[in-house]
């Protein structure tokens, strides 16, 4: 098939493009052209590159037509963040291409039971701009699916892997957390450390998108959680990560308001965003319908990222 990937040079695209080329697809990679792919791979020499500024072209009302003109069998959209942008794309490719859309587990608000299945997103309204925006896209695609244009919507968790910072056992991106765990310093955790985070390796996300590309056309829009097998509690995460450095975790548990006062404001906000949701998602539907089988546990995905941060000199921990 001819597959167009919008946002092809990002974290997931670096793994997805080689998978698609390896499967024999004709691949067109659409990006702003401002950065190289996260991962070098010989597959890129077999890919047609199209440079496009989606934000500017959406504003002009031309982006959807540009994608439609590529005449793809499948369009994979990794970087759609508003319903208006999704509407332009859908209107342009309707009747021409099948759509696979990247959403997020942040479309779930407060969960009543875990691990959460896909249908529970409708009973746990999201909050925060990112989740609300993605939920609006999902609502549009759900409606389109009921009216003859079904798509597949994938909801990745906290994407991890080499090449960037990842969510740590405090639920934020502070590299000092890894330094504390490596040195045997005391790590502050909110409450009892029992809130959860649910990671997924970028290559496992790519696996899911490749499977969706190859899946048969469905009769309605389908939604899939794409995460590792199991979520982690902050406490369990910290204890395991300390073990990577040959340490036992030294943890101080604090009520959230006191915890928040002891760390940087930006880090506290990020922690709150994660622990107030405490994602723990089911992948049963993706496993049963797509054949999704994550190759990395949460800890494996994170450790690979931490090893890269150390090799890159962003962490002094040995």
Q: Which residue has tokens 């942040």?
A: 106
Are the C-beta atoms of residues 33 and 224 closer than 8 Å to each other? no
Same domain, residue pair 16 and 119: yes
Domain count across the chain: 2
Q: Could you list the pLDDT tens digit for every one of the 318 residues in the chain?
A: 999 999 998 899 999 999 999 999 999 999 987 666 767 889 999 999 999 999 999 999 999 999 999 999 999 999 999 999 999 999 999 999 999 999 999 999 999 999 999 999 888 899 999 999 999 999 999 999 999 999 999 999 999 999 999 999 999 999 999 999 999 999 999 999 999 999 999 999 999 999 999 999 899 999 999 999 999 999 999 999 999 999 999 999 999 999 999 999 999 999 999 999 999 999 999 999 999 999 999 999 999 999 999 999 999 866
Secondary structure class of 75 (helix, strand, coil):
strand
Nearest-10 Cα torsion for 50, 54, 58, 60: -70
CATH number of the domain enclosing 89 = 3.40.50.720
Are the C-beta atoms of residues 294 and 286 closer than 8 Å to each other? no
pLDDT of residue 33: 76
pLDDT of residue 262: 98
Task: Provide the domain limits for residue 107.
Answer: 2-157+200-226
Cα 318 from Cα 313, distance rounded (Å)? 11
CATH number of the domain enclosing 304 = 3.90.25
Whole-angstrom CA distances from 61 to 29, 51, 75 are: 20, 16, 18
Same domain, residue pair 120 and 220: yes
pLDDT of residue 48: 96
Same domain, residue pair 204 and 128: yes
Same domain, residue pair 116 and 214: yes
Same domain, residue pair 91 and 132: yes
Tokens representing 158? 């906290």
pLDDT of residue 35: 67
DSSP for residue 242 = H
Secondary structure class of 123 (helix, strand, coil):
helix
Are the C-beta atoms of residues 57 and 31 closer than 8 Å to each other? no
Same domain, residue pair 110 and 214: yes
pLDDT of residue 71: 97
- Domain assignment present for 92: yes
Same domain, residue pair 145 and 222: yes
Q: Which residue has tokens 């928040």?
A: 260
3-class DSSP string for 61-95: CCHHHHHHCCCCCEEEECCCCCHHHHHHHHHHHCC
Same domain, residue pair 141 and 263: no
pLDDT of residue 30: 96
Same domain, residue pair 137 and 172: no
Same domain, residue pair 144 and 186: no
Same domain, residue pair 143 and 35: yes
Same domain, residue pair 259 and 209: no
How many CB atoms are closer than 10 A to CB 60?
Answer: 9
- Domain assignment present for 151: yes
């Amino acid at each position: 098939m001819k597959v167009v990937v919008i946002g092809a040079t990002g974290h997931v695209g670096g793994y997805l493009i080689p998978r698609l080329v390896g499967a024999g697809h004709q691949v067109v990679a659409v990006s702003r052209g401002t950065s190289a792919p996260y991962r070098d791979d010989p597959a890129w020499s077999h890919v047609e590159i199209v440079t496009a500024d989606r934000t500017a072209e959406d504003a002009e009302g031309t982006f959807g037509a540009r994608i439609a003109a590529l005449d793809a069998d499948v369009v994979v959209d990794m970087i759609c963040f508003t319903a208006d942008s999704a509407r332009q794309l859908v209107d342009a490719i309707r009747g021409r291409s099948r759509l696979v859309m990247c959403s997020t587990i942040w479309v779930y608000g407060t969960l009543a039971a875990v691990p959460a299945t896909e249908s529970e997103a409708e009973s746990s309204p999201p909050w925060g701009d990112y989740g609300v925006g993605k939920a609006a896209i999902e609502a549009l695609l759900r409606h389109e699916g009921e009216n003859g244009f079904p798509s597949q919507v994938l909801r990745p968790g906290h994407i991890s892997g080499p090449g960037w910072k990842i969510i740590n056992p405090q639920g934020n991106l502070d590299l000092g957390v890894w330094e504390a765990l490596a040195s045997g310093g005391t790590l502050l955790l909110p409450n009892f450390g029992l809130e959860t985070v649910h990671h997924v390796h970028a290559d496992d996300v790519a696996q899911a998108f490749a499977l969706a590309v190859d899946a048969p056309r469905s009769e309605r829009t389908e939604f899939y959680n794409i995460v590792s097998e199991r979520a982690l509690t902050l406490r369990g995460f910290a204890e395991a990560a300390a073990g990577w450095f040959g340490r036992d975790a030294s943890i101080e548990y604090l009520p959230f308001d006191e915890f928040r006062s002891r760390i940087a404001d930006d880090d506290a906000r990020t922690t709150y965003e994660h622990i107030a949701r405490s994602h723990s998602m089911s992948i049963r539907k993706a496993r049963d319908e797509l054949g999704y089988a994550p190759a990395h546990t949460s800890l494996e995905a994170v450790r690979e990222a931490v090893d890269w941060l150390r090799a890159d000199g962003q962490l002094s921990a040995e």
